[in-house]
Structure 1
Amino acid sequence: MFQDISLTDLFNAQKKGCHTTVDVRSPKEYEETTIPGSINIPVFTNEERAEVGTLYKQKGQDAAKERGLEIFSQKLPAFIEAFKQIDTPITVFCWRGGMRSKTAATVLDLMGIQVNRLKGGIRSYRKWVVHVLEQQECKPELLVLNGYTGSGKTAILKKLAQNHYPVIDLEGMANHRGSIFGHIGLEPSNQKNFDSELVQALLRHQAQPYVFMEGESKRIGKVVIPDFLYKKKETSKQIFIRLPMEERVKLILNDYQPWTDPQKFIDAFRRIKKRIHTPIAKQIEEDLLSGNYAHATELLLEYYYDPRYEHSTDLYPDNKKIIINAKNLDVAYEKIIQTIEKPVVMKR
């Protein structure tokens, strides 16, 4: 017989080593939010879930259950086979720890596949996330990477993480680059998924003396940084990276690659076109239309992004600023490492 376990039990199991959490809700629900690291083996497709839900509203619980079992019975072989491919302990969950996860766990148990079921489902996880964020706690000191657009802040964060320094990558969690063009080629995250990943990062780094973070705006794409973290970021030490214009243009083009979907970049530019002096805006648009992306990028930096950045930098007191002048990204990275009095590397 399968066993119901609490969220605490699940966390303890995950800490001990390999453990697979399986979200048996529909793909649409899974995409909206899930427990980080979970895989999706749904009891119902999006359309099947909608059908059963409609029956429940129109004809009641018994009719919905009957149709649900009919649908599920037809896909049992594939459902069971998917679980047979998992070679670790398994915990299944649905929204509230209700019918779908119970049915899945019962069937798997009958087939000799041992699983646990999460009590309270993902709703219990979401309540825990909200509770953690309500504590408004970020224990480590923040070292905030700041600087002009195109200064390689995200690339440096990734390199720091690869070298096992503690990093909270807000743009990575938001799946958005933080600019008017930041969504292109990406599927921006929603607030629930962002909150879940942020909580995991805060807890993972809570024993560290410091954490690197990028100097983001309060809103990144579709998500908002919690007030307590944003305020701490704004009052923390700011590491300002200064690279030559040509290096910044190169980094931006490598990151965004506007030639892969030129129309989206043109459409995004037209949203800010009125904020730029008319002759310059006209030249930028002509460059984008003709594929002269390097020149368009340089003009955008000089006449749109840099003036906005210069205004914001005046808000930070001098005793909170560290200026990093470098000819390229690698030199900037090395200088940042040198600013740390006692580098603390994350344990593998």
Structure 2
Amino acid sequence: MFQDISVENLLQMQKEESLKLIDVRSPSEFEESNIPGSINIPIFTDEERAEIGTIYKQVSIEAAKQRGLEIVSAKLPDFINSFSSIEEQKVIYCWRGGMRSKTSATLVDLMGIETFRLIGGIHAYRSWVVDKLEELADMFQPDALVLNGYTGTGKTKILQLLQEKGYPVLDLEAMANHRGSVFGQIGKRSYNQKMFDIMFVQKALEVKDSPYVLLEAESKRIGRATVPEFLLRKKEQGFHIFIDLPMEERVLSILEDYRPWEFPEAVMSAFQKIKKRIHTPIAAQIEKDLQTGEYKSAVQLLLEFYYDPRYHHTAEQIPPERSVVFHVKNVEEAVGKIEKLLAKKLDTSKVK
């Protein structure tokens, strides 16, 4: 028989063994929010779930259960095979740890596949996240080392490289799945607040006792997500590392990251939101460049006449004694200079 476990049990098990979390909710529910590291093996598709819900409301509970049984019976072999192919220890969850996860766990157990079921489902996990967010406001110790610089200086890439090297990093844009600007959602599906909070808490708990944490100079809101107030305060009080990269490198970095030729309509739509804030002749030229696919020219004009002036005003608010400027030719050189700074100013051995 499958075993029920609490969120606390799950977290302890994750420290001790290799687990695979399996979300048996519908694909749209999974996409909206899930526990990091999960895979989706839905017992019902979105359409099937809607159909059963309609029968439940308009006919009866028993009729809904009967229809659910018919649907599950038809797909049972594929459903079981999906579980059989997973080598790790398996933990099943649904929304509140109700019928869907219980049915799934029972079925796979009958086929001899050992599994656990998360009590309370993702709803319980979300409650744990909310509690931890409140605790982190008081227990988050690291000083903030804030990566700053003009748009296109590769700040996100720098953070990723530093994280790969073992430095404590909070990549807020990755947690929001959004690049932070009006163009930030192009080619992505930004996460909602629930998903952002789940990812943030998981990473913040890993670095909470570090002497410092590296993060980007983000605004309060990134896409659909809002950054916790305590982290914003840390950022405002932190030490800022300004990256100065040549314009040509910045343009190439943006083109490589955004690939605007793959999303021309989305790029044009985003531009229309800021068009009125740019001097009319320049805005007209940018629009023409976007229409004709002259993306390199469009990006450089956007940087020179929209993003750089806005950034310059923000940068002036940072006191010189809490900042340093690194003039570099590329991202790799920036990473090297930051590492030297950390070695000089901080005891990195605590977090490496």
TM-score, structure 2 as length reference: 0.95
**2:78 alignment partner, SS class:** helix
1:165–1:344 CA contact under 8 A, matched in 2: no
What CA deviation, in whole Å up to 9, does each residue of 1:144-175 have, x standing for no partner? Answer: 10111111101101111121211111111111
Residue in structure 2 matched with residue 24 of structure 1 by the alignment: 24
3-state SS of 2:31 partner: helix
Deviation digits for residues 94-147 of structure 1, max 9, x if unmatched?
Answer: 111111111111111111111111111111000001111122242212111011
User: How many Å separate the matches in 2 of 1:198 and 1:344?
Assistant: 24
> Deviation at 1:14?
0.9
SS of equivalent residue, structure 2 residue 336: helix
Q: Counterpart of 1:259?
A: 261
Match of 1:343 in 2: 348
Q: Indicate the residue corresponding to 1:34 in structure 2.
A: 34
Q: Does 1:166 align with 2:171?
A: no
Which SS does the other structure have where 1:212 is aligned? strand
CA distance in 2, matches of 1:181, 1:28: 24
In structure 1, what is the equivalent of residue 45 of structure 2?
A: 45
Q: 1:202 aligns with which of 204, 214, 229?
A: 204
SS of alignment partner, residue 171 of structure 1? helix
Aligned to 1:105: 105
Tell me the distance in 2 between the aligned counterparts of 1:223 and 1:339.
Answer: 31
SS for the counterpart of 2:317 is: coil
Q: TM-score, normalised by structure 1?
A: 0.96
Counterpart of 1:180 in structure 2 is 182
Number of the residue aligned with 2:326: 324
Contact 2:251 2:296 in 1 (8 A): yes
Report the Cα distance in structure 2 between the residues aligned to 1:2 and 1:81, rounded to whole angstroms: 18
Alignment of 1:194-233 (within 5 A): 194-233=196-235
Structure 1 residue 314: Cα displacement: 2.1
Task: Provide the rounded CA distance (Å) in 2 between the counterparts of 1:88 and 1:111.
Answer: 17
CA contact (8 A) 1:24 1:41 kept: yes
CA contact (8 A) 1:165 1:345 kept: no
Contact 2:153–2:245 (8 Å) recurs in 1: yes
Map of 1:156 onto structure 2: 158
Larger deviation, residues 61-70 vs 75-84? 61-70
8 Å CA contact retained: 1:166, 1:208? yes
| Structure 2 letter corresponding to 1:192 | K
Q: State which drifts further: 332-341 or 43-52.
A: 332-341
Aligned to 2:94: 94
Contact 1:6/1:118 (<8 A) preserved? yes
The CA deviation string for residues 293-323 of structure 1, in whole angstroms up to 9 with x for no partner, is 2222111111100111111112222222121
| Structure 1 residue 237 displacement after superposition | 1.0
> 1:132 — aligned with what?
132
Q: Aligned partners of 1:192 and 1:279: how far apart in 2?
A: 42
Partner letter of residue 227 of structure 2? I
Structure 1, gaps ≥5 residues long: none
- Distance, in Å, in 1 between the alignment partners of 2:41 and 2:293 is 44
1:248 pairs with one of 247, 250, 257: 250
Secondary structure (helix, strand or coil) at the match of 1:117 reads strand
In 2: Cα distance, 1:122 partner to 1:327 partner: 46
Q: How many Å separate the matches in 2 of 1:240 and 1:73?
A: 60
**Residues in 1 aligned to 2:25 and 2:64: alpha-carbon distance in whole angstroms:** 16
Residues 282-293 of structure 1: pairs in structure 2 closer than 5 A: 282-293=284-295
Retained in 1: the 8 A contact 2:210–2:350?
no
Secondary structure of the corresponding residue to residue 240 of structure 2: strand
Match of 2:6 in 1: 6
Deviates more, 1:256-265 or 1:138-147: 256-265
Name the CA distance, whole Å, in 2 between partners of 1:209 and 1:83.
Answer: 42
- 1:104 counterpart letter in structure 2: S
Mapped partners of 1:94, 1:264: distance in 2: 34
Q: Tell me, which stretches of 5 or more residues in structure 2 are unaligned?
A: none
CA contact (8 A) 2:146 2:235 kept: yes
The equivalent residue for 1:306 is: 308
Separation in 2, partners of 1:19, 1:297: 44
> Cα distance, 1:266 vs. partner?
2.1
Find the partner of 1:189 among 188, 191, 196.
191
Contact residue 2 and residue 116 of structure 1 kept, 8 A: yes
Q: Residue 76 of structure 2 corresponds to which residue in structure 1? A: 76
- What is the one-letter code of the residue matched to 1:319? E
Q: CA deviation at 1:346?
A: 4.8
Is the partner of 2:348 in helix, strand or coil?
A: coil
Corresponding residue number in structure 2 for 1:59? 59
Q: Verify the 8 A CA contact 1:337 1:343 in the aligned structure 2.
A: no
